[in-house]
Structure 1
């Protein structure tokens, strides 16, 4: 299953987030796959697509970053798949 992960950098402190990333990596447990990410121009948020079959793994990952990032995690499907599912 794919998830849109919206990271809100606490105090818009992207430098702290990227410093930890450089030092420790993504800190994701096995079973989560990173697909892609985009960062807003104001360095306040990051949008990531992740794949995972067990949402508790995402919770473990969030716990590693909760001091620097507030998360929104939304299960998503590709628009093409949704269109096919809703076709007459």
Structure 2
């Protein structure tokens, strides 16, 4: 399943976030695939497209950053997949 993850750095120590990232990486389980990530121009948020078969992989990742970052995790589907899933109802 794919997810849009929004990491919110508002009110957080951004230097510490990037320091930790530089020293230790994303701190995510290997099974959690990050397909793309984008940083807002003002560095206040990061937007990621990730994929995982097990939601606990996301929870294990979030707990590594919970002292510095607020997370919003949104399950998503592609337009193509959604149209196929709804085809019998249209």
Per the normalisation by structure 2, the TM-score is 0.87
Q: Which runs of 5+ in 1 are unaligned?
A: none
Match of 2:73 in 1: 73
Residue of structure 2 equivalent to 1:60: 60
- Quote how far apart the aligned CAs of 1:81 are: 2.1
User: RMSD of aligned C-alpha atoms?
Assistant: 1.5
Check whether the contact 1:10–1:68 (CA below 8 A) recurs between aligned residues. no
Structure showing greater Rg: 2
> In the alignment, what sits opposite 1:49?
49
Once superposed, which parts of structure 1, at least 4 consecutive aligned residues long, lie more than 4 Å away? none
Tell me whether 76-85 or 51-60 shows the greater mean CA deviation: 76-85
User: How many residues of Structure 1 are paired with residues of Structure 2 in the alignment?
Assistant: 88
Residue 20 of structure 1: SS of its match in structure 2?
Answer: helix
| TM-score (normalised: structure 1) | 0.88
Report the CA distance shift for 1:14/1:46 in structure 2 as closer, same or farther (over 3 A): same
Structure 2: gaps (5+ residues): none
Decide which structure has greater strand share.
1
